[in-house]
Amino acid sequence: MTALKALYGGTFDPVHYGHLKPVEILANLIGLSKVIIMPNNVPPHRPQPEASSAQRTKMLKLAIADKPLFELDERELRRDTRSYTSETLREWRQEQGPTQPLAFIIGQDSLINFPSWHDYQSILDNAHLLVCRRPGYPMAMKEEAHQHWLDRHLTNSVDDLHRTPAGKIYIAETPWFNISATLIRERLQQGESCDEMLPQAVLRYIHEQGLYQ
């Protein structure tokens, strides 16, 4: 059996424990030996981040320096156009061949908005979706047609993820972490502590660079 490979895309402005901890637990639950973190360059569905791509990448490097589970993929940083996941996964699929099991990791909030993503249907042609739970977001889709789409692709079987190349959605029983980059940026701006929310090395870098003031 070929090992399932998983890509974890995000804006990471900044990276925090709400990104890292659920995914470490997910990796244990379903047997992922690597998670490839991929910062976007031009987020498709939100304003440009406060930190530059170089600063967000540096923060990711600091966050994963002592975590061998994670490695970094900078491919989206080399594109100046919007970082559409469908394009990235098409390219990754071509590199990995048609039978390699591939997955894209998202949080529950991203799943709810997933049908608004560019060419979203094609994403499942190239990868599975692995979803981490997140507090404050519903588990049901907003529109009935999208709920049917979700139901058609849902699986509870970890074996399915490892044995098929793409096309399944797996909602993992990961714990809730009530942390967001927005909350961290707001707290830092108000001079409030964020010590428990992100790695110390990332926090030090934020202060050194004068970010989020």
Binding residues (CB under 6 A) for ligand NCN: these are 9-11, 40, 43-46, 83-86, 110, 117-118
Binders of ligand ATP in range 151-180 (CB under 6 A):
177, 179-180
d(CA 131, CA 128): 10
User: Beta partners for 71?
Assistant: 36
Give whichever of 48 and 157 is closer to ligand NCN, judged by the CB atom.
Answer: 48
Q: In the numeric block, which tokens belong to residue 40?
A: 């976007």
Cα–Cα nearest to 151, from 143, 23, 25: 143
Give whichever of 97 and 102 is closer to ligand ATP, judged by the CB atom.
Answer: 102
Are the CB atoms for 102 and 92 separated by under 8 Å? yes
**Peptide linkage before 14 cis (omega within 30 of 0):** yes
**Binding track, positions 60-79, relative to ligand ATP; x by CB under 6 A:** --------------------
Sheet containing strand 169-171, edge to edge, reads 70-72, 35-39, 5-10, 102-107, 128-132, 169-171
Give the number of C-alpha atoms closer than 13 A to the C-alpha of residue 144, restricted to the C-beta side: 0
Q: In the numeric block, which tokens belong to residue 8?
A: 């974890």
Among 4, 22, 130, 161, binds ligand ATP (CB under 6 A): 22
18 touching ligand ATP, by CB under 6 A:
yes
Give whichever of 84 and 177 is closer to ligand NCN, judged by the CB atom.
Answer: 84
Which of ligand ATP, ligand NCN, none does residue 165 bind to, with CB < 5 to 8 Å depending on kind?
Answer: none
Which of ligand ATP, ligand NCN, none does residue 163 bind to, with CB < 5 to 8 Å depending on kind?
Answer: none
Among 4, 6, 7, 10, binds ligand ATP (CB under 6 A): 10
Which of ligand NCN, ligand ATP, none does residue 53 bind to, with CB < 5 to 8 Å depending on kind?
Answer: none
In the complex, least distance from residue 54 CB atom to ligand NCN, rounded to whole angstroms:
17
Strands 70-72 and 35-39: parallel
Q: In the numeric block, which tokens belong to residue 190?
A: 């108000």
Residues 6+ apart with CB under 8 A from 204: none
Which of ligand ATP, ligand NCN, none does residue 180 bind to, with CB < 5 to 8 Å depending on kind?
Answer: ligand ATP
Q: Which residues bind ligand ATP (CB under 6 A)?
A: 10-13, 18-19, 22, 106-107, 109-110, 132, 134, 177, 179-182
